[in-house]
Structure 1
Amino acid sequence: MLIGVIADDFTGASDIAVTLSKGLEGEGGLRTTQYLGVPSVQADASVEAGVIALKSRSLPVEEAVAQSLAACRWLQEQGCEQIIFKYCSTFDSTDEGNIGPVTDALAAHLEAQSVVMCPAFPAMGRTLYQGHLFVHDKPLNESGMQHHPLTPMTDADLRRVLARQSQNRVGHIAWQTVSAGSEAVQAALVAQAEEGRVLVIVDAISNDDLTIIGSACRGAVLVTGGSGIARALPHNFIADGRAQGQRAGVPQVSGAEAILVGSCSGATRGQIAEHEKQHPVLMIDVKEVLSGATGPQQLVDFIQAHQGQAPLVYSSGDPETVRQLQQEYGREKIAEALDTLFGQTARQLVAEGVRRLVVGGGETSGAVVSALDLDALTIGQEIDTGVPAMVSGGERPIALALKSGNFGGRDFFARALKTL
Structure 2
Amino acid sequence: MEVLAFAGLETILFLAPPTQERLARFAHYRAIGVAGVARSRPPEWMDEHLPPVFEQLAGIGAPVVHYKVCSTFDSAPHIGNIGRAAEIARRRFPGWIPLVVSDPGMGRFQAFGNLFAHANGVGYRLDRHPTMAAHPTTPMHEADLGRHLAAQTDLRVGLVDFASMKRGRADALLAQEIERGAAIVSVDVLDPETLREAGRLIWERGAAQQFVLGSQGVEQALVAHWRAAGLMPLTSASVGCARVERLAAVSGSVSPITAAQIEHACARGFEPIVLDARLAVHEHWLAAEVQRVTALGGEAIARGRDPLVFTATGPDDPRVAAFREAVRASGTPIAAVNDRLGAALGDILNALVRQCGLRRVVISGGDTSSHAASRLGIDALTAIAPLSPGVPLCRAHSPDPAIDGLEIALKGGQTGAPDFFTAVRDKH
* Residues 91-130 of structure 1: pairs in structure 2 closer than 5 A: 91-96=73-78, 98-112=81-95, 114-130=96-112
Q: Is the 8 A contact 2:268 2:422 kept in 1?
A: no
Give yes or no for the alignment of 1:178 onto 2:174: no
Q: Counterpart of 1:304 in structure 2: which amino acid?
A: G
Counterpart residue number, 1:3: none
Q: Is the 8 A contact 2:246 2:305 kept in 1?
A: no
Counterpart residue number, 2:297: 303
Q: Is the 8 A contact 1:120 1:226 kept in 2?
A: yes
Counterpart residue number, 2:338: 335
SS at structure 1 position matched to 2:370 = helix
Distance in 1, Cα, partners of 2:379 & 2:277: 31
Structure 1 window deviating more from structure 2 (275-284 vs 260-269): it is 275-284
Structure number with higher relative contact order (C-alpha < 8 Å, ≥ 6 residues apart): 1
Q: Residue 236 of structure 1: CA displacement?
A: 5.5
Q: Is the 8 A contact 2:346 2:372 kept in 1?
A: yes
Distance in 2, Cα, partners of 1:234 & 1:370: 30
Percent identity reads 29
Q: State which of 305, 308, 323 in structure 2 corresponds to 1:325.
A: 323
Q: Residue 260 of structure 1: CA displacement?
A: 0.5
Structure 1 window deviating more from structure 2 (353-362 vs 392-401): it is 392-401
Distance in 1, Cα, partners of 2:244 & 2:53: 33
The gaps in structure 2 that reach 5 residues or longer are 329-333
Distance in 2, Cα, partners of 1:20 & 1:62: 32
Q: State which of 109, 116, 125 in structure 2 corresponds to 1:134.
A: 116
Structure 1 window deviating more from structure 2 (274-283 vs 258-267): it is 274-283
Q: Counterpart of 1:19 in structure 2: which amino acid?
A: V
Distance in 2, Cα, partners of 1:266 & 1:337: 23
Distance in 1, Cα, partners of 2:382 & 2:138: 30
* Residues 261-280 of structure 1: pairs in structure 2 closer than 5 A: 261-279=251-269, 280=271
Distance in 1, Cα, partners of 2:111 & 2:231: 34
Distance in 2, Cα, partners of 1:302 & 1:197: 55
Q: Counterpart of 2:221 in structure 1: which amino acid?
A: A
Q: Is the 8 A contact 2:258 2:314 kept in 1?
A: no
Counterpart residue number, 1:397: 405
Q: Residue 34 of structure 1: CA displacement?
A: 1.0
Deviations 1:69-108 (A, max 9, x none): 3222222222211111110111111134510110121123
Distance in 2, Cα, partners of 1:228 & 1:340: 29
TM-score by length of 1: 0.86
Q: Is the 8 A contact 2:98 2:213 kept in 1?
A: yes
Give yes or no for the alignment of 1:73 onto 2:69: no
Q: Is the 8 A contact 1:262 1:364 kept in 2?
A: yes
SS at structure 2 position matched to 1:405 = coil
Q: State which of 421, 424, 427 in structure 2 corresponds to 1:419.
A: 427
Give yes or no for the alignment of 1:223 onto 2:240: no
Q: Is the 8 A contact 2:294 2:348 kept in 1?
A: yes
Deviations 1:279-300 (A, max 9, x none): 2111223234546275222222
Distance in 1, Cα, partners of 2:426 & 2:37: 28
Q: Counterpart of 2:127 in structure 1: which amino acid?
A: N
RMSD, aligned α-carbons:
2.5
Q: Residue 267 of structure 1: CA displacement?
A: 0.4
Distance in 2, Cα, partners of 1:125 & 1:339: 27
Distance in 1, Cα, partners of 2:223 & 2:263: 38
How many residue pairs get aligned? The number is 396
Distance in 2, Cα, partners of 1:283 & 1:381: 29
Q: Residue 254 of structure 1: CA displacement?
A: 6.2
Distance in 2, Cα, partners of 1:228 & 1:237: 14
SS at structure 1 position matched to 2:40 = coil
The gaps in structure 1 that reach 5 residues or longer are 1-16, 23-27
Q: Structure 1 237/211 Cα, relative in aligned 2: closer, same or farther at 3 Å? A: closer
